[in-house]
């Protein structure tokens, strides 16, 4: 069987445009000292919050280039929120669109990119003496909500 017989992009042309949103969250577990360094603004590479925020936005917009069968859709809004929760940083991304397909992949991609950007920004502080990351982990990336609303619901 050839791959072209197995893989295809789903045709969504017949679906109506609807208002859609999705929120995804994920966490990065870091050493206490690293989180304190981030909070003090003492990361050599710069502002971790700004870089992670931009990484999320850029990733949302590039999702169809990263996820092979994901449709390019018009993004109408992106919100990125980050906060420290104990020994982890929580990243939440909400994506909004008006279109024929959902935005879950975009929200998940945004969260993933933000978490990877945080790791990249602080990796020098997370390595052990052998150059490994025994404590650092990206965890629990998931969709926490999905909304689909008709534009002009019938009354």
CB 77 within 8 A of CB 20: no
- Match 């990361």 to its residue by tokens: 43
The counts of H helices and E strands in the chain are 4, 4
Instruction: Look up residue 68 and give its DSSP letter.
Output: T
Residue of 11, 79, 120, 128 marked catalytic: 120
User: Which structure tokens are listed for 64?
Assistant: 């169809």
Is 120 tagged catalytic?
Answer: yes
The DSSP element (H or E) to which 152 belongs, if any, is none
- Cα distances from 133 to residues 129, 136, 138, in angstroms, run 10, 6, 11
User: Which structure tokens are listed for 50?
Assistant: 């700004």
Annotated catalytic residues are 120
């Amino acid at each position: 069987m050839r791959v072209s017989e197995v893989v295809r992009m789903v045709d969504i042309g017949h679906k109506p445009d609807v208002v859609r949103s999705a929120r995804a969250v994920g966490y990065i577990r870091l050493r206490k000292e690293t989180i304190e360094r981030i909070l003090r603004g003492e990361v050599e590479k710069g502002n971790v919050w700004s870089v992670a925020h931009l990484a999320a936005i850029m990733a949302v917009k590039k999702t169809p280039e990263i996820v092979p069968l994901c449709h390019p859709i018009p993004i109408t809004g992106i919100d990125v929120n980050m906060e420290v929760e104990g020994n982890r940083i929580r990243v939440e991304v909400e994506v909004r669109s008006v279109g024929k397909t959902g935005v879950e992949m975009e929200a998940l991609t945004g969260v993933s990119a933000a978490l990877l950007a945080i790791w990249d920004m602080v990796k020098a502080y997370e390595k052990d003496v052998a150059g490994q990351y025994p404590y650092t982990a990206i965890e629990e990336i998931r969709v926490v909500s999905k909304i689909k609303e008709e534009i002009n619901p019938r009354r």
